[in-house]
């Protein structure tokens, strides 16, 4: 066991002959970054299906005015768990999975810096997921506060709330340890010659994301701990009657919550920054400015939190400051979009599934970014806060942004992981179904929000009925289309056309110099880094 | 005190977003026309008789809301132009720079001048937008020199209105959803203002600056009326303020806009904007009714009288959680029928209703209900369903307990 986590074995060694456990023990005890990456990805996909099923319960209830299938309390629990599971259980672990699989191979390292910590980071996730989902079956049900867990409402909740708090603690520990691992790996284990400014962009996005997580996760943990002591130990951090302030929680929560948005978005930017150049057969335009933009976004993300709180009664000067700071973040984000567009310009484009998802990301994330600019304007935001416009906005950023980018990464790297090409026809079908149904589901929600439909309501006035029907049809179509991923991945794992070590002719980077499927141990000796594989 | 009957002045000039007029400036007309065209096309596809394909913000009825509307329209144009500009370039690439058309890739990957340009130009656009955005916001926050001030208190799940200044000072009542339960449960056809109707709306005079002070009794709520561009959190223990000056008479509807628990979707905001004469008449009428129903604290209640009043109070304040049949929604909202509290010592029952139960959704009704109402509702709970205790509770008993 001990030996396998050490470097120094030849890449073609059969690891089993060194007493490496097999069967389920292999997965429980593994310290191999590829095994752990695989587990992260499967975990996130399972959670994605669970969270997705919850969203379909929400959309089914909203299909027509009146209460149909679920009670308002259960509806609130669904929308809370849907968000917590999607953010902490699906999207974040998916990108940690990519980081585990790809970062060591991209920088020519044999494994992650802290291999055992890596194992623990993953295995903390299932207990947290169980806590979250099991809270549904507790007396009083799960937390029904929305993922923002605002007190005093969260103080009223039953035991499900405590389970959600502990789940957040555990998920936070997992994220902090994972981030320390990734940051250390990137800073210390790069192959000789790979300076920071020659590093693949995915590593850059994760380096910044790692710091964002290390800085923001303890803040969330602090906030929910204060909530816990308010609930059970007689403190009054958030209770006015005891000298506290409910809005204090919102400040602390969003001081974590806004960086969290970029924790999700930055690795997505990283994936797209690999896929677009590969299928444009042209180097990424403006590598250096991309790096500066990532760093700028990461930094500014800590200074805009109260734009989630424009209606809480913060002073006018506060509103003005947060409006200007939020507008500022549009500049580096714009730079990134322009760089991707210019990368494609005068390239030699082909449209395999990864590229389709990257293009889908580009279009839809830009829409989400532009509606974000609308929402940055405090006066307009006051009209749109807590309406479906906001729901549409963040689903364009989170689903079309992060999820589409994750799919781009999945199809891009699947041949490297499995050694087989996936079914291109099914992949394209998956993209087009996702693209079409996503827009049917979420675009009409902009109109609902403008017309004044509040979010987080189980029933609505009749003038909102028609767009909700359309949105419901889109949501169900989108949800069931995602099952195609299972088929495609299973097919690629089982067989299919053999993938060469570099299945995409435009792809560059050390990860494409190793065979497909990538051997269990790669780069036990640091590879020679030549200019052809550099990104800068 | 649940103040008897605030007269509803609805019926005239009902203003739902979809009944929009055509009297706005040309810029908005254009936006709206495009919207209508799109809506019309969609409408052709739909067989729904009363389809409402509203595509834009509700028609503003205050100067502030109009500024917000115009700011949003401006932003919509800006982002549309940016989007079309960027994706025209992308579309050109997708069509002409394909490998399948034999396009050979260029090798350029840096250009400082271009990078500087697309950093500086967006910054300039943002600075230009910041001016109207700032002035609209400054105007929105100026709550000075109001003509009428109303304190709005959010409760789970209703609104309390209390007029603080002017002739109406002292008028105070609760505003509760009036949509019948049968409509929500799909047992009866839904009315025109399904979920957007209340028993006693807020009544304000047209053309006057109304300052709204918000606070809450239990959790954070949000008092919102889109036609006024008003949306302010009601935070327990704190006062926030906002204002509007409605330019047209009519009924304007909004909803609670901060998740506040089970019935968050069922606590609408309805504001009646009326002429000054009607407002004066309404104020006089309210004052008269308040005097008429002023309670005689020494009145001796009979069981029938008290249970009849108690049932009304129960329906308005308790039934949302504990249910009309007293069975509750356990475990979050316990049953009262046969419960230990409702069949146990009277004093403990009264104290629970007066002081609430901290850490749960059970509110302290001592501040919301009069002695008479509390006595009645507790008497009702102790005599309804299978709880046939036969107890009459005198308001004086409630008064005695309040001090404790």
In a domain, A256, yes or no: yes
Number of domains observed in the structure of chain A: 1
Is the separation of the CB atoms in B198 and B265 below 8 Å?
no
In a domain, A165, yes or no: yes
Phi, psi dihedral angles at B70 (to 5 degrees): -70, -40
**Are A150 and B183 inside 8 Å of each other by CB?**
no
The pTM assigned to this predicted structure is 0.87
- Identify the residue with better confidence: B336 or A476: A476
Class of residue B218 by CB neighbours under 10 A (exposed 0-12, middle 13-18, buried 19+): buried
In a domain, A18, yes or no: no
Beta strands across the sheet bearing B210-216:
B172-175, B158-163, B148-155, B210-216, B240-244
- Sign of the torsion angle spanned by Cα atoms A369, A371, A375, A376: positive
Distance from CA of B99 to the nearest CA of A (A): 4
Is the separation of the CB atoms in A230 and A239 below 8 Å?
yes
In a domain, A21, yes or no: no
Q: How confident is the model at residue B334 (pLDDT cuts 50, 70, 90)?
A: confident
DSSP per position, A126-193: HHHHHHHHHGGGSTT-S--STTTT-TTHHHH--HHHHHHHHHHHHHHHHHHHHHHHHHHHHHH-PPTT
Residue B226: closest CA among B64, B57, B72, B74? B57
- The region of weakest confidence among A383-387, B28-32, B168-172, B191-195 is B28-32
B245 half-sphere exposure, CB direction, 13 A CA radius: 14
Q: What is the dihedral of CA B97, B101, B103, B109, to 10 degrees?
A: 30
In a domain, A167, yes or no: yes
Residue A351: closest CA among A239, A453, A275? A275
In a domain, A19, yes or no: no
CA B363 to chain centre: 20
Looking at the DSSP bridge assignments, the partners of residue B98 are A349
Q: Which of A239, A349, A364, A368 to mutate to test the interface with B (most CBs of B within 10 A)?
A: A349
Task: Say how far apart CA B305 and CA B313 lie, in whole Å.
Answer: 13
Task: Say how far apart CA A133 and CA A142 lie, in whole Å.
Answer: 8
- In the residue annotation, A262 being an active-site residue is answered as yes
Is the separation of the CB atoms in A151 and A230 below 8 Å?
yes
| Each residue's pLDDT expressed in tens, for chain A with a length of 536 residues | 333 434 433 444 444 445 677 888 889 999 999 999 999 999 999 999 999 999 999 999 999 999 999 999 999 999 999 999 999 999 999 999 999 999 999 999 999 999 999 999 999 999 999 999 999 999 889 999 999 999 999 999 999 999 999 999 999 999 999 999 999 999 999 999 999 999 999 999 999 999 999 999 999 999 999 999 999 999 999 999 899 999 999 999 999 999 999 999 999 999 999 999 999 999 999 999 999 999 999 999 999 999 999 999 999 999 999 999 999 999 999 999 999 999 999 999 999 999 999 999 999 999 999 999 999 999 999 999 999 999 999 999 999 889 999 999 999 999 999 999 999 999 999 999 999 999 999 999 999 999 999 999 999 999 999 999 999 999 999 999 999 999 999 999 998 899 999 999 999 999 999 999 999 999 999 998 887 777 64
Catalytic residue among A133, A175, A216, A301: A175
A–B CB contacts, 8 A cutoff, strictly below: 302
Residue A422: closest CA among A347, A477, A357? A357
Q: Look at strands B268-274 and B250-255 and give their pairing.
A: antiparallel
Task: Say how far apart CA B62 and CA B59 lie, in whole Å.
Answer: 9
- The CATH number given to whatever domain includes residue A323 is 1.20.210.10
Task: Say how far apart CA B95 and CA A393 lie, in whole Å.
Answer: 29
In a domain, A23, yes or no: no
Looking at the DSSP bridge assignments, the partners of residue B221 are B234
The residue range of the domain holding A192 is 3-7+35-533
**Are B98 and A383 inside 8 Å of each other by CB?**
no
Distance from CA of B159 to the nearest CA of A (A): 17
Q: Which two tokens stand for residue A243?
A: 């000298």
Question: What's the mean pLDDT when you consider all of chain B?
Answer: 84
Is the separation of the CB atoms in B385 and B325 below 8 Å?
yes
In a domain, A29, yes or no: no
**Are B75 and A373 inside 8 Å of each other by CB?**
yes
Q: How confident is the model at residue B44 (pLDDT cuts 50, 70, 90)?
A: very low
Domains of chain B: 26-140 (1.10.287.90), 148-292 (2.60.40.420), 303-402 (1.10.760.10)
Q: Which two tokens stand for residue B206?
A: 């047209």
- Sign of the torsion angle spanned by Cα atoms B63, B69, B73, B76: positive
């Amino acid at each position: 066991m001990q030996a396998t986590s050490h470097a120094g074995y030849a890449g073609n060694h059969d690891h089993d002959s060194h007493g490496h456990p097999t069967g389920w023990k292999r997965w429980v005890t593994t310290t191999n970054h590829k095994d752990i990456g695989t587990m992260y990805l499967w975990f996130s996909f399972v959670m994605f299906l669970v969270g997705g099923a919850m969203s379909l319960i929400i959309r089914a209830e909203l299909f027509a005015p009146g209460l149909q299938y679920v009670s308002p309390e259960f509806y609130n629990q669904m929308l809370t768990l849907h968000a917590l599971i999607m953010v902490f259980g699906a999207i974040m672990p998916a990108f940690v999975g990519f980081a585990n699989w790809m970062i060591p191979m991209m920088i020519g390292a044999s494994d992650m810096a802290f291999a055992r910590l890596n194992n623990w980071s993953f295995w903390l996730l299932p207990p947290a997921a169980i806590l979250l989902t099991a809270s549904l079956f507790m007396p009083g049900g799960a937390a029904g506060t929305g993922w923002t867990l605002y007190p005093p409402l969260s103080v009223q909740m039953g035991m499900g709330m405590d389970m959600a708090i502990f789940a957040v603690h555990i998920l936070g520990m997992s994220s902090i340890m994972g981030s320390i691992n990734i940051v250390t790996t990137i800073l210390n284990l790069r192959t000789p010659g790979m300076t920071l400014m020659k590093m693949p962009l995915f590593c850059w996005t994760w380096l910044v994301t790692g710091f964002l997580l290390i800085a923001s996760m303890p803040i969330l943990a602090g906030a929910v701990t204060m909530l816990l002591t308010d609930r059970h130990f007689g403190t009054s951090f958030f209770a006015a009657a005891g000298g506290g302030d409910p809005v204090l929680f919102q400040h602390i929560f969003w001081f974590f919550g806004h960086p969290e948005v970029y924790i999700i978005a930055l690795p997505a930017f990283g994936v797209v920054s690999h896929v677009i150049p590969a299928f444009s057969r042209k180097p990424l335009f403006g590598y250096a400015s991309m790096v500066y933009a990532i760093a700028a976004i990461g930094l500014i993300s800590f200074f805009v939190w109260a734009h989630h709180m424009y209606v809480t009664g913060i002073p006018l000067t506060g509103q003005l400051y947060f409006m200007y700071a939020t507008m500022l973040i549009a500049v580096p984000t714009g730079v990134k979009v322009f760089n991707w567009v210019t990368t494609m310009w005068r390239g030699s484009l082909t449209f395999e599934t990864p590229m389709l998802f990257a293009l889908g990301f580009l279009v839809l994330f830009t829409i989400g970014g532009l509606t974000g600019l609308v929402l940055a304007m405090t006066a307009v935001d006051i009209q749109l806060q807590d309406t479906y416009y906001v729901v549409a906005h963040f689903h364009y950023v989170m689903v079309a942004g992060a999820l589409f980018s994750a799919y781009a990464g999945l199809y891009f790297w699947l041949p490297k992981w499995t050694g087989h090409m996936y079914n291109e026809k099914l992949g394209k079908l998956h993209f087009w179904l996702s693209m079409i149904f996503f827009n049917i589901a979420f675009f009409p929600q902009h109109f609902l929000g403008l017309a004044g439909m509040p979010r987080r309501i189980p029933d609505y006035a009749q003038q909102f009925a028609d767009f909700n029907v359309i949105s419901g049809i889109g949501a169900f179509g989108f949800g069931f289309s995602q099952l195609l991923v299972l088929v495609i991945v299973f097919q690629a794992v089982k067989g299919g056309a053999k993938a060469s070590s570099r299945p995409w002719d435009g792809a560059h980077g050390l990860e494409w110099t190793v065979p497909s499927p990538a051997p269990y141990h790669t780069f036990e000796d640091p590879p020679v880094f030549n200019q052809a594989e550099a990104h800068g | 005190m649940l103040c008897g009957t605030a007269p509803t002045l609805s019926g005239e000039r009902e203003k739902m977003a979809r009944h929009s007029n055509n009297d706005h400036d040309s810029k908005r007309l254009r936006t709206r026309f495009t919207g209508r065209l799109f809506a019309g096309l969609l409408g052709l596809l739909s067989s729904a008789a009363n389809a409402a394909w509203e595509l834009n913000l509700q028609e503003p009825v205050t100067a502030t809301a109009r500024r917000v509307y115009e700011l949003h329209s401006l932003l919509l144009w800006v982002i549309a132009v940016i989007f079309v500009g960027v994706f025209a370039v992308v579309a050109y690439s997708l069509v002409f720079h394909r490998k399948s058309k034999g396009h050979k890739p260029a090798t350029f990957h840096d250009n400082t001048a271009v990078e500087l340009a697309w950093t500086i130009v967006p910054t300039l656009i943002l600075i230009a937008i910041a001016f109207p955005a700032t002035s609209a916001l400054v105007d929105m926050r100026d709550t000075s020199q109001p003509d009428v001030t109303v304190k709005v208190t959010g409760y789970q799940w209703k609104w309390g209105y209390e007029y603080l200044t002017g002739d109406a000072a002292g008028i105070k009542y609760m505003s509760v959803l009036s949509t019948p339960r049968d409509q929500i449960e799909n047992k009866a056809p839904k009315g025109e203002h399904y979920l957007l109707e209340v028993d006693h709306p807020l009544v304000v005079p047209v053309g006057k600056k109304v300052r709204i002070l918000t606070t809450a009794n239990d959790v954070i709520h949000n008092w919102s009326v889109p036609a006024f561009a008003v949306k302010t959190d009601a935070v327990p223990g704190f006062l926030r303020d906002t204002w509007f000056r409605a330019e047209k008479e009519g009924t304007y509807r909004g909803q609670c806009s901060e998740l506040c628990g089970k019935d968050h979707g069922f606590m609408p905001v309805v504001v009646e904007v009326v002429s000054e004469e009607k407002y004066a008449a309404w104020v006089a009428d309210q004052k008269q009714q308040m005097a008429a129903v002023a309670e005689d604290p020494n009145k001796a209640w009979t069981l029938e009288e008290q249970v009849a009043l108690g049932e009304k109070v129960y329906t308005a304040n308790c039934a949302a959680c504990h249910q009309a049949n007293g069975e509750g929604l356990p475990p979050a909202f316990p049953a009262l029928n046969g419960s230990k509290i409702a069949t146990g010592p009277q004093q403990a029952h009264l104290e629970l209703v007066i002081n609430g139960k901290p850490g749960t959704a059970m509110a302290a009704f001592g501040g919301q209900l009069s002695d008479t109402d509390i006595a009645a509702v507790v008497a009702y709970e102790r005599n309804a369903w299978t709880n046939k205790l036969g107890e009459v509770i005198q308001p004086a008993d409630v008064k005695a307990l309040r001090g404790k």
